[in-house]
Amino acid sequence: MAETDCIFCNIIAGEIPSFKLYEDARTYAMMDINPFNDGHCLVITKAHSINLLDADPADLAAVLPAAQIIARAIETALEPEGINIIQANGPAAGQTVYHYHSHIFPRRLNDGALLNWGHAPGDMGKIEEIYNKIMAELG
């Protein structure tokens, strides 16, 4: 269901312009208008959902194949040194548009994107405690 005050719903409806790259029955891909690196683009679901947490699994299942199509085109056209597929859920994760989208995020070595965290060994007791909390929800 489209939301009239949602910028991405308005883009899909053709009411706001975009550099459309691709669309299929469930997804729509376009250039991001505030790109971090050249080729930064977005795959969004055609159906409105806030983010991963409330999206229809069938829409989510369509997102990765669409992302693969775009990523392959970027790989050939722009020859980045890497590509992240990134998706934010909630403010602390960096979500600013509350309509599901995955970023296709081309990377350059030493581009300074603050996405790469170091690998420090975890506390196994703490990991197990958190694991048990999540597993209690999964049943």
101 is catalytic: yes
Amino acid at 122: G
Per CB under 6 A, 4 contacts ligand 5GP: no
* Selected binder of ligand 5GP within 6, 7, 47, 69 (CB under 6 A): 7
Per CB under 5 A, 32 contacts Zn ion: no
Which is nearer to ligand 5GP, 69 or 97 (by Cβ)?
A: 97
**Measured between alpha carbons, how far is 59 from 66 in angstroms, rounded to an integer?**
11
**DSSP annotation string for 92-131:** GGT--S-S-EEEEEEE-TT---TT--------HHHHHHHH
| 128 Cβ contact partners less than 8 Å away, ≥ 6 residues apart | none
Per CB under 6 A, 113 contacts ligand 5GP: no
**Measured between alpha carbons, how far is 108 from 23 in angstroms, rounded to an integer?**
27
Which is nearer to ligand 5GP, 93 or 130 (by Cβ)?
A: 93
Per CB under 5 A, 8 contacts Zn ion: yes
Which residues of the shown chain bind Zn ion in the complex (CB under 5 A)?
3, 6, 8-9, 48, 99
